[in-house]
Amino acid sequence: MIVTTVRVPAKVNLQLGVGPVRDDGYHDLVNVFHAVSLFDEVTATPAPTLTITVEGPAGVPTGPDNLAARAALLLASHAGVEPRVALHIRKDIPVAGGMAGGSADAAAALVACDALWETGLSRETLLGLGARIGSDVPFALLGGTAVGLGRGERLTSLEAAGEFHWVFGYADGGLSTPAVYAECDRLRAHEPVPWPVVSDDLMAALKTGDPVALGRALQNDLQPAALSLRPSLAAALEAGTAAGAVGALVSGSGPTCAFLASSASHASSLASALSDTAHFASVRQARGPVLGAVVV
């Protein structure tokens, strides 16, 4: 029996510039995605009907609202095949953590089902189907470091020199992405919201691979909203800075905190210092950039 397993990374947003809310309820973004070495795995096995099983944290739906199920159904209907597949998801990416775990699983399911059903869809078609599932899904297919415009789905890959070393502080309990965008709108209701532009400092830091410069250039317009909804994040970020992180920010819509280290060994000592605090449910070390969804 053919079984296909796809490994797919989490992301952190190096820059998340959020423009005014659009008529369709979405926000135009400058979203600089960076894929990091925390992975989910999706295994596709032939089965009479579509089923989803999840290994790992609680709180992930196993019905048609699982993003991997939506991906399998969309691909089947696009390719004109029956969605006869059992998808098993091994989760290591935090749920509702601002690291795009659900989007990652959708991207992995697209790649796994395309391989299992031998539908041979082009990369462009998979990216297009991904964008219909969620704004972050195309990046999980692409990986690396990339800037996403529009909702975040119009991607251009960026060259990044070398490797960056990260520490992630997972929280107890997630934050809802729509709720964080709504809080961002509420906080900015009485001020002009400029159109976001790509940060020159960030682009320069990526070209040279200098972690200190990258740390200074990290920027997340959703961070004030995440902190407003989860005030304890302020002290959590401060703990990382106090422990020597060269950059500290909320990952996307949060509540995961991302800390940049200056080297692999610095990341190890930072991770162990943060593990000794009470700010995080767990602390993980990772490097980036890494590849997007790949068959393993």
Q: Is 254 marked within a binding site? A: no
The contacts of residue 59 (CB under 8 Å, 6+ apart) are: 95, 96, 174
Two tokens at 133?
């599932």
How far is the C-alpha of 116 from the C-alpha of 30, rounded, in Å? 35
- The helix or strand, by DSSP H or E, that contains position 36, with its residue range, turns out to be strand 27-46
Is 273 strand, coil or helix? helix
The contacts of residue 75 (CB under 8 Å, 6+ apart) are: 109, 110, 113, 114, 117, 119, 121, 129
- Cβ atoms 107, 140 nearer than 8 A: yes
The contacts of residue 90 (CB under 8 Å, 6+ apart) are: 40, 41, 42, 43, 55, 56
Nearer to ligand SUD, 45 or 157 (CB): 157
The torsion region of residue 162 among left (phi > 0), alpha (psi -120 to 50) and beta comes to left
Q: Given candidates 152, 240, 255, 292, which one binds ligand SUD under the rule CB under 6 A? A: 152
Q: Is 225 marked within a binding site? A: no
Two tokens at 192?
């002009």
Nearer to ligand ADP, 126 or 205 (CB): 126
Nearer to ligand ADP, 107 or 167 (CB): 107
- Cβ atoms 202, 31 nearer than 8 A: no
Two tokens at 203?
């682009």
Q: Closest separation between CB of residue 32 and ligand SUD, Å?
A: 10
Q: Is 56 marked within a binding site? A: no
Residue 40 annotated to the active site: no
- Cβ atoms 174, 97 nearer than 8 A: yes
Interface ranges with ligand ADP (CB under 6 A): 60-61, 65-68, 89, 95-103, 105, 174, 177, 253
Q: Which of 40, 105, 136, 221 is labelled catalytic? A: 136
Q: Given candidates 4, 9, 13, 284, which one binds ligand SUD under the rule CB under 6 A? A: 13
Q: Which of 11, 40, 105, 114 is labelled catalytic? A: 11
Two tokens at 210?
């200098």
Q: Which does 95 bind (CB under 5 to 8 A by kind): ligand ADP, ligand SUD, none?
A: ligand ADP
Using the rule CB under 6 A, is 29 a contact of ligand SUD?
Answer: yes
- Cβ atoms 106, 78 nearer than 8 A: no
Nearer to ligand SUD, 31 or 199 (CB): 31
Q: Is 101 marked within a binding site? A: yes
| Closest to 135 (Cα-Cα) out of 209, 22, 29 | 29
Q: Is 104 marked within a binding site? A: yes
Q: Which residue has the CB atom at the shortest distance from ligand SUD?
A: 252
Q: Is 286 marked within a binding site? A: no
Using the rule CB under 6 A, is 195 a contact of ligand SUD?
Answer: no
Residue 136 annotated to the active site: yes
Is 282 strand, coil or helix? strand
Using the rule CB under 6 A, is 262 a contact of ligand SUD?
Answer: no
Nearer to ligand ADP, 83 or 101 (CB): 101
Using the rule CB under 6 A, is 80 a contact of ligand SUD?
Answer: no
Using the rule CB under 6 A, is 100 a contact of ligand SUD?
Answer: yes
Q: Is 44 marked within a binding site? A: no
Q: Which residues are catalytic?
A: 11, 136
Provide the annotated binding site for ATP: 94-104
Catalog residues that contact ligand SUD under the rule CB under 6 A. 13, 16, 25-27, 29, 31, 98, 100, 103, 134-136, 151-152, 177-178, 181, 252-253
